[in-house]
Chains A and B, each alone.
Chain A
Amino acid sequence: MSAEPTWTADEMMTIEASRALHGVRSCFVGIGLPSTAANLARTTHAPDLVLVYESGCLGSKPDSLPLSIGDGVLAETATSVVSVPEIFSYWLQPGRIEVGFLGAAQIDRRGNINTTVIGPYDDPKVRLPGAGGAPEIAASCGEVIVVVRHSPRVFVDRVGFVTSVGFGDAPGDRQRYGLRGKGPQRIITDLGVLQPDESGEFILTAVHTGVSVDQVKAATGWELQVATDLHTTPAPSEQELTVLRHLETTKGQR
């Protein structure tokens, strides 16, 4: 690297996540990083992307970033607002939504996600918020993209608690559990991109500009395999950075 990048690792992650929505029609959006990335996609390359929020908002087109999943701007700009039982049973459960966009407190080498508890369930070291909509998003969306910062505490060999199923313990587990979506197809981090191999183990398929493979391995809690055709993600464009930085200033404002 000749010069310091003019963007942060978080910005790179969000921009790469927004690019993953190329050609996608509908996206079930979790709050936080996934919501920022999905709105960046809608504001740049995917104006027709249908954003679905678990509060019941179908087709929200917010011009400011929501702080919560139920901010007024999501309802006011939606094509339709439906009840919470309806969003889960009529819209998510039958597999109508192409992509589910999730975060994670912990994720393991087979893409299983923990957002429930660190340590024993009955005597937790850290009690996390819990499941929310994630288990059924992970089960029923056509595929899942996870956006999460890379660290050895987050990327663990096996999560201590499976809140949302990725590829379970072994090949064939998704079919065995009756999960109809394809499961996690990409984990996008502040260092690079991981994708599942045929067995369902996540391997490194891309690093961001200026990031070394050793850096990613050091931030991963299992022996990370590297794809033979490892590539480097394109650096953020001026337009991506400008739009993202503007969006960030609108968070929770209306």
Chain B
Amino acid sequence: MARHQSLADAVAEHVHDGDTVALEGFTHLIPFAAGHEIIRQGRRALTLVRMTPDIVYDQLIGAGCARKLVFSWGGNPGVGSLHRFREAVQAGWPVPLEIEEHSHAGMAARYVAGASGLPFAVLRGYLGTDLMTVTDTIRTIECPFTGETLAAVPALNPDVAIIHAQQADRAGNVALWGITGVQKEAVLAAARSIVTVEEVVDELSTPYGAVVLPGWAVTAVAEVPGGAAPSYAAGYSVRDNDAYQRWDAISRDRSTFEQWLRETVHATEVIA
């Protein structure tokens, strides 16, 4: 059964140096507060997994937490480039970053395989692209029934998955709704999971389309209102598009980024 913990305690207990960590949330419900806590606690040599690294991984990469990135689209949505990611790949700053690059469909299939207890997934994709030549975890397989050649990708099974949701109840059951991305699969694929939530309630409100993760499938729950900002939590907040646009200037050079780290991440204590 999921334990209610503070975010600081949950990260300290469940996220270790060298772990493979997936913070998921497709534009919506991105667990920013948890990402900042990982930076504050100084985790190193992480393999970061995420379909869209978004500015949360730009921050973790710039802070030197990552050794490797497994991803499928590394931009600032609607704005442009992720400058910390780019500098790590192009110049190895602050530490060299190994990359393992997929498409969205491939990453989604990898999580599904991981959640399903399968060693790999099959999809129509990748064939004819150069992704196959640079990413060792993209291979082909012949369908045993039709003889068709299809793409095969290995399961993703992170050490820990971290997501943000709207609600949890006292027993640790978690509800999220709106754009729910690949979070259910990420949690079920991972050995451990941390869910930050907008609020802990006596009874979950589960609107149309809600995903409910039973408490016995989750490791830790931490109440962190606003924990997705500048991403958002439908029903609680809206996406702070201005912050995404401001990030472009902040992240463009090392000194403004480091100033941001000091003033925004290190100067802030965890709320819960």
Chain A positions within 8 Å of B, measured between CB atoms, are 31-32, 54-57, 66-72, 74-76, 80-81, 83-85, 88-89, 92-93, 116, 121, 124, 126-136, 139-140, 161-165, 168, 173-174, 176-180, 252, 254
Chain B, Cβ-Cβ closest to A83: B180
Provide the main secondary structure of the chain A interface: loop
Pick 16 A–B contacts, CB within 8 A, sort by A: A31-B78, A54-B104, A56-B181, A68-B77, A72-B178, A81-B178, A89-B105, A89-B123, A93-B105, A116-B131, A126-B90, A131-B101, A132-B72, A133-B73, A173-B128, A177-B127
Query: What 7 pairs between A and B have smallest CB-CB spacing?
Result: A70-B27, A129-B75, A68-B77, A132-B73, A67-B78, A177-B128, A252-B241
Contacts of B124 in A (CB 8 A): 93, 136, 139-140, 178, 180
A252 to B81, CA, bound (A): 18
A178 to B123, CA, bound (A): 12
Contacts of A140 in B (CB 8 A): 124
Contact A71 to B128, CB < 8 A, known contacts A130-B74, A131-B104, A178-B149: no
Question: Is B28 a contact of A75 with CB atoms below 8 Å?
Answer: yes
Interface stretch of the complex, out of B15-23, B32-40, B106-114, B192-200: B106-114
A178 to B140, CA, bound (A): 12
B234, CB-defined interface residue at 8 Å: yes
B91-146 contacts to A (CB < 8 Å): 101-105, 108-109, 111-112, 123-131, 134
A164 to B238, CA, bound (A): 33
Question: Is A131 a contact of B78 with CB atoms below 8 Å?
Answer: no
Question: Is A72 a contact of B238 with CB atoms below 8 Å?
Answer: yes
Contacts of A180 in B (CB 8 A): 124
Question: Is B148 a contact of A71 with CB atoms below 8 Å?
Answer: no
Contacts of A76 in B (CB 8 A): 234
Chain B positions within 8 Å of A, measured between CB atoms, are 26-28, 51-52, 71-75, 77-79, 81-82, 85-86, 89-90, 101-105, 108-109, 111-112, 123-131, 134, 148-150, 178-182, 184-185, 209, 211, 232, 234, 238-239, 241, 244
Smallest Cβ distance from A29 to chain B, in angstroms? 13
Smallest Cβ distance from A252 to chain B, in angstroms? 4
Chain B, Cβ-Cβ closest to A35: B78
Question: Is A55 a contact of B241 with CB atoms below 8 Å?
Answer: no
A161 to B130, CA, bound (A): 6
Give 15 new A-B contacts, CB below 8 A, not counting A88-B108, A139-B124. A55-B26, A56-B180, A70-B77, A70-B181, A84-B108, A85-B182, A127-B74, A131-B102, A135-B126, A135-B129, A136-B105, A136-B123, A177-B127, A178-B148, A178-B150
Smallest Cβ distance from A44 to chain B, in angstroms? 23
A134 to B128, CA, bound (A): 13
Chain B, Cβ-Cβ closest to A94: B124
Contacts of A67 in B (CB 8 A): 77-79, 239, 241, 244
Residue from the set A80, A84, A89, A136 with the largest chain B CB neighbour count within 10 Å: A84
Contacts of A84 in B (CB 8 A): 26, 51, 104, 108, 181-182
Question: Is B178 a contact of A135 with CB atoms below 8 Å?
Answer: no
Question: Is B78 a contact of A85 with CB atoms below 8 Å?
Answer: no
A163 to B134, CA, bound (A): 11
Contact A71 to B27, CB < 8 A, known contacts A131-B102, A131-B103: yes
Question: Is A133 a contact of B149 with CB atoms below 8 Å?
Answer: no
Question: Is A168 a contact of B77 with CB atoms below 8 Å?
Answer: no
Chain B, Cβ-Cβ closest to A129: B75
Question: Is A133 a contact of B105 with CB atoms below 8 Å?
Answer: yes
Chain A, Cβ-Cβ closest to B235: A72
Pick from B71, B78, B101, B180: contact of A68, CB under 8 Å: B78
